Amino acid sequence: MSDENLPPPTPAPKAQKWRIQAWIYDEDDDSRIRNAMWAVGHREGYADLSDFIVRTMLEKVEELEAKYNNGRPFQPPTAQPRGRGRGRSLRPGKAVE
């Protein structure tokens, strides 16, 4: 077979960049999230807790992009967004000790 009859080479898959992220949230919420994942995550096709969290968050991000940005990804903010700050309630109506 001559080279002119060969299909073009398949490009190498793009290397994934991984990031370790941490959130501050209530222990009861953590238990609910973990328990739901371990109870039914395998039935829903989640590989592990990280997969569950990222895919769930991306579903919400896609919803927000569709609702507020014509389905396009948001651009980075021009100013540093304001955070909740430590010690503030993470859920409305829920006290922080």
The answer to whether residue 60 sits within a structural domain is yes
Q: Which pLDDT value is given to residue 93?
A: 56
Please state the domain count of the chain: 1
Q: What is the rounded distance in angstroms from the CA atom of residue 19 to the CA atom of residue 53?
A: 13
- 38: tokens are 């371990």
The answer to whether residue 53 sits within a structural domain is yes
Q: Which pLDDT value is given to residue 92?
A: 59
Domain boundaries, position 51: 45-73
The answer to whether residue 57 sits within a structural domain is yes
Q: What is the rounded distance in angstroms from the CA atom of residue 17 to the CA atom of residue 75?
A: 19
- 55: tokens are 């895919």
The answer to whether residue 65 sits within a structural domain is yes
| Weakly modelled stretches of the chain, pLDDT under 50 | 96-97
The answer to whether residue 27 sits within a structural domain is no
Q: What is the rounded distance in angstroms from the CA atom of residue 7 to the CA atom of residue 10?
A: 9
Residues constituting the chain: 97
